């Protein structure tokens, strides 16, 4: 699905205004911004007018409420970094509460509570540390899960690993055996998977974030521009495959790809294409500049751009989750209640002006709703030694 000339012309104007000329195609450009902790440039507002408008629409907020929420989320992300350091081994997870605008940090030791509280976070106690729960989840990750088990994740609020099973399937022999082994690994809670009888599925059908690209007869979406190319989902293609852009012209080749296990890939660009630090708004919002990749805590607002369903927003529901696709499990994913559809795979997840990850898969659609997972962008950058392109 190609965007209009009007949108593409508007994007060129935006990039020229930002002192970076280009079109909607992803391709190489130089950047001095580090890949793992890019600088966040100051701005008068916490996000563009387009993002604020989308927040008002999807969260039913007034303009001042949307601006206040995004500002609170940026503050919470900074507090989260400081709180993790202050808690040390006692850190047991964190989450953002939109109603209060505050970050809550769980700790296992009373001695760490005062140090964490001094960072500005609310503090609660937990039975198990994040390190302990990570170890439990890692042990479960080594098990082969039956199809009725849709995935598992750490819930910092309950200090447990939650295993999700399709409705009415917990009594299946293979599910029963898997759950017994999972519970042997440590503190586990079993929950009914959302999405009725649906299990998560990759969202591939087929360079600016959210734009379409093609590998053979598969259409996917671009995630984020990096120096020398762009990142996307691994299930969109294999290393060495040729990639063609929205206009069917040759862009480059897949340089690295992993799926399952992880769902990440990167594509080099050339032949007249170049990279831009932009995510397309598809006319719903203005095209968004990318200024960094600070991680948004659970509870934060987040938006997604993809070539099928375009621009939608929602909330971060959980980090470091395992999705059990039919092709195999994908680890360390982030779950959201943002809808997505086939062809959106690889597309951009962004919170304010901070890149978060690339669309992996989910259940539901944008007519009835659903949930979608993404592979965190910082993990992809670290895996392939890439540098995120920022404005």
- pLDDT, tens digit, for every residue of 185-220? 999 999 988 765 567 766 654 379 999 999 988 999
CB 223 within 8 A of CB 232: yes
- pLDDT, tens digit, for every residue of 1-40? 334 323 333 332 222 111 222 223 322 222 223 333 344 4
CB 209 within 8 A of CB 22: no
Report field, pTM of the whole predicted structure over 0.85: no
Which one from 48, 129, 221, 235 is the annotated catalytic residue? Answer: 235
Q: What is the DSSP string of 219-239?
A: EEE--EEETTEEEE-GGG--T
Q: Residue 358 forms beta bridges with which residues?
A: 375
User: Phi then psi for 138, rounded to 5 degrees?
Assistant: -65, -35
Q: What is the pLDDT of residue 195?
A: 64
Which one from 345, 351, 360, 391 is the annotated catalytic residue? Answer: 345
Q: SS3 breakdown of the chain: % helix, strand, coil, rounded to 5?
A: 25, 35, 40
263 is catalytic: yes
Q: What is the pLDDT of residue 22?
A: 29
Q: What is the pLDDT of residue 91?
A: 96
- The Cα–Cα gap between 224 and 350 comes to 10
Q: What is the pLDDT of residue 3?
A: 41
Residues with Cβ < 8 Å from 126, sequence gap 6 or more?
92, 93, 106, 107, 108, 156, 159
Which one from 262, 263, 287, 353 is the annotated catalytic residue? Answer: 263
CATH architecture label of 1-60+199-391:
Beta Barrel (2.40)
345 is catalytic: yes
- The Cα–Cα gap between 146 and 178 comes to 8
Q: What is the pLDDT of residue 100?
A: 93
């Amino acid at each position: 699905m190609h965007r209009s000339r009007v949108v593409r012309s508007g994007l060129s104007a935006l990039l020229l205004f930002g002192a970076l000329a280009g079109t909607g195609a992803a391709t190489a450009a130089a950047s001095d911004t580090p890949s793992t902790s890019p600088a966040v440039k100051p701005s008068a507002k916490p996000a563009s007018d387009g993002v604020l408008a989308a927040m008002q629409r999807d969260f039913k907020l007034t303009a001042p409420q949307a601006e206040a929420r995004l500002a609170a989320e940026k503050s919470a992300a900074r507090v989260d970094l400081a709180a993790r350091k202050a808690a040390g081994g006692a850190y047991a997870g964190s989450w953002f509460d939109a109603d209060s605008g505050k970050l809550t940090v769980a700790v296992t030791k009373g001695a760490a509570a005062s140090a964490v509280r001094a960072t500005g976070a609310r503090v609660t106690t937990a039975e198990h540390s994040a390190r302990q729960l990570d170890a439990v989840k890692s042990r479960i990750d080594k098990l082969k899960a039956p199809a009725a088990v849709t995935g598992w994740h750490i819930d910092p609020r309950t200090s447990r690993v939650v295993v999700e099973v399709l409705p009415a399937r917990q009594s299946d022999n293979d599910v029963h055996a898997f759950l017994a082994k999972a519970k042997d690994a440590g503190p586990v809670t079993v929950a009914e998977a959302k999405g009725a009888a649906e299990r998560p599925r990759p969202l591939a059908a087929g360079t600016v974030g959210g734009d379409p690209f093609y590998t053979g007869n598969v259409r996917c979406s671009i995630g984020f521009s990096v120096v020398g190319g762009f990142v996307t989902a691994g299930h969109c293609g294999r290393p060495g495959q040729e990639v063609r852009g929205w206009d069917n012209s040759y862009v480059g080749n897949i340089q690295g790809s992993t799926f399952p296990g992880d769902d990440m890939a990167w594509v080099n660009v050339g032949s007249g294409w170049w990279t831009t630090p932009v995510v397309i708004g598809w006319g719903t919002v203005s095209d968004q500049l990318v200024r960094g990749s600070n991680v948004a805590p659970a509870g934060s607002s987040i938006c997604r751009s993809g070539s099928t369903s375009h621009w939608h927003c929602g909330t971060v529901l959980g980090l470091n989750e395992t999705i059990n696709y039919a092709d195999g499990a994908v680890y360390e994913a982030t779950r959201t209640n943002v809808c997505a559809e086939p062809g959106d795979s690889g597309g951009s997840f962004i919170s304010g002006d901070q890149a978060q990850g690339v669309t992996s898969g989910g259940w539901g659609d944008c007519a009835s709703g659903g949930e979608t997972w993404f592979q965190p962008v910082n993990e992809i950058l670290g895996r392939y030694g890439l540098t995120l392109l920022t404005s």
